[in-house]
Amino acid sequence: MQFEESRQWRAQGVPGAPRFQEHLNLVTAALEDGLARQDLSAFYDAFRSTDLPFIGAAHSMDAYEIFRACFDILHRLGGVSPAAALAIENHYYILSALSTFPTRDDVALGERRQALLKHIVNNRLLIANTSTTIHSSKLGTRGTHARRDGHGFRVSGTADYTSLASQGDILVFISVLEGEGPAVFFAPMRGNPGIEIGPLLLPDSMLESDTRRITFHDLALSDENLLLSGAGARMEHLLSFEMVWHQLLIPTLYLGAAARAIEEVRRFLRSTTGLDDRPLAALDGMMVDVGRLFIEYRSARCVALQAGQGLGSLTEAPLDTQALSDIFDLASASKLVGTRCAEEILAAARRIVGARAFAGGNPIERLSRDVMFGPLGPKVNAAIERTYGRRVLGESSFLEQC
C-alpha cells in the first residue's frame, strides 16, 4: 500500500533507488523463507550482504532521508514479522542516532563516533544494544556497573532486554560508571568471553526479536571502547536523541503489520462470496469498515512522517534543549498513535476474516501475536499520555499550545 509521496522519495531520495528496492525484495523474501523453515540465519546473511544495514552511515543523507529509508525497510519487514523487524529496528535506531547526532562543537566525541561508524560499515556489523535495565520492583533499575581499571574499564552485571542478541556483532550499551554517572560503551559481542548471551527472555512470544538476557562477566574494555561518559547536558542530549530515534522507528514496523492486515482483509473480501454469490467486497458495510481502517492507518502514518521531518531540523550543535524536548514528545506521540493503530486494525481484521485468520498459516495470526508488544516499549503508552496530560493541565491555556 504505497502513496505518491513515497514513490517520489524512492525515485529521488535514496542513493541507487532501484538497487534499494532490489535489496529490500531480496531481504523480505529471505525473511519469509526463514520463517517457513524456522531458521533466520540465511535472512541475516542476506541482510548483511546488502547495502540496507548501513543506510545513513555509508551514504550522504540527512536525518529525514535516513528516517524515510528506515521507514520503508521496517514497514516492509514488519508486514512479515514484527518481531524480526523489531530486532532490525534496534540496529537502526543506534546506527541512525550515531550517524546524525550533531557533534561540531565536540571534536573528540565526533572523532570517536566517526571511528565507530567506520568500523561498523567496513566490517558490515549489526548492532545489538541494551540500556542494561532489569526486572525489578523499581522501574528503570540498571543491572550493571562499570569501574575504571588502569587505562580501561571493567563491567559486571546483567541486562534483561537485548534484542538481536545472538546475531549482533557489536554491543552498544549504557552502564553506570562509578563516581562519574552514565557511560555509553561499545564492545564486540560474538565470541566475547566477557559477555554471556543467555536464553530467550520471552520464550513463547516475539521469538524472532531474539531478545535475551545477557550477563557481563568482568568485561574488560579499553579507553577506545568508551563513547561518552559523565552526567551533564551532552549526555542527556545524546540519550534523548537516541530515544527519539527509537520512538520514531518503533511505530513504522507495527504500521507495516497494520498495512499487511488490511491487504489480507482486501484479499479475503474479494475472494469470498456471500449466500447471494456476490463478493463480500461489494457489501456497502464492508466498504465502510475497510475505509475506516485505511483512514486510521493513513492518519498514524502521517504523524510518523511529521515527527521524522521534525527530527531532520535538529542539526545545530549543541542541540537546543527545548527543540529536542519538543521532538521527543512528538516522537512519543507517533509511537503511541502508531502502535495503538496497529492493535486496533489487527483486531478489526480478525473480526472481518473470522476464524480463518488463525487457520492455514494466515499472516494475521502472526501479526496479531506480535503487535500487542508495540505499546509496551520503549516508553509505555501510559507514560506518554501522562506527559501530555501534564502539559494540558498546566498553568498555560491549552489553546495557546495548539
CA angle 147–150–154, rounded 5-degree value: 35
Is the per-residue pLDDT at 226 higher than 90? Answer: yes
In this predicted structure, what is the pLDDT of residue 6?
41
**DSSP code of 325?**
H
Which distant-in-sequence residues (6+ apart) come within 8 Å of 332 by Cβ?
Answer: 247, 379, 384, 387
- Helices 321-353 & 363-371, crossing angle to 10 degrees? 140
Q: How many Cα neighbours within 13 Å face the side chain of 335?
A: 27
Q: According to the CATH classification, is domain 233-401 in 2.30.29.30?
A: no
Domain ranges of the chain: 4-125, 128-229, 233-401
Please say whether the dihedral angle defined by the alpha carbons of residues 14, 16, 21 and 25, taken in this order, is positive or negative: negative
SS3 214: strand
**What's the residue count for the chain?**
402
Alpha helices, H only, 13-56: 17-37, 41-49
CATH classification code of 128-229: 2.40.110.10
Q: What is the pLDDT of residues 123-149, one digit of tens each?
A: 999 999 988 765 555 666 678 999 999
Q: Is 220 exposed, middle or buried (0-12, 13-18, 19+ CB in 10 A)?
A: middle
Residue position matching grid coordinates 502513496: 3
Identify the residue with better confidence: 324 or 143: 324
The percent of residues above 90 in pLDDT, for the chain, comes to 77
Cis peptide before 378 (omega within 30 of 0): yes
In this predicted structure, what is the pLDDT of residue 105?
87
Q: How far is it, in rounded angstroms, from Cα 78 to Cα 71? A: 10
185, 147 in Cβ contact below 8 A?
A: no
124, 240, 247, 330 from 320: Cα distances, Å: 33, 12, 19, 16
In this predicted structure, what is the pLDDT of residue 16?
59
Domains 128-229 and 233-401 share a fold: no
In one-letter notation, the amino acid at residue 20 is: F
Q: How far is it, in rounded angstroms, from Cα 381 to Cα 339? A: 9
Identify the residue with better confidence: 340 or 359: 340
Over residues 54-74, mean pLDDT: 89
Q: How many Cα neighbours within 13 Å face the side chain of 348?
A: 25
The H or E element spanning position 305 is helix 284-311
59, 13 in Cβ contact below 8 A?
A: no
- Helices 321-353 & 381-392, crossing angle to 10 degrees? 130
Q: What is the pLDDT of residues 8-31, one digit of tens each?
A: 434 444 555 778 999 999 999 999
Residue among 76, 107, 103 at smallest CA distance from 89: 76
56, 96 in Cβ contact below 8 A?
A: yes
In this predicted structure, what is the pLDDT of residue 88?
98
Q: Strands 181-188, 212-222: parallel, antiparallel or unpaired by DSSP?
A: unpaired
CA angle 317–319–323, rounded 5-degree value: 140
114, 150, 274, 276 from 223: Cα distances, Å: 16, 10, 69, 74
Residue position matching grid coordinates 511505530: 251
SS3 31: helix
Q: How far is it, in rounded angstroms, from Cα 32 to Cα 23? A: 14
**DSSP code of 126?**
P
Q: What is the pLDDT of residues 156-201, one digit of tens each?
A: 999 988 999 999 999 999 999 999 999 999 999 999 999 999 999 8
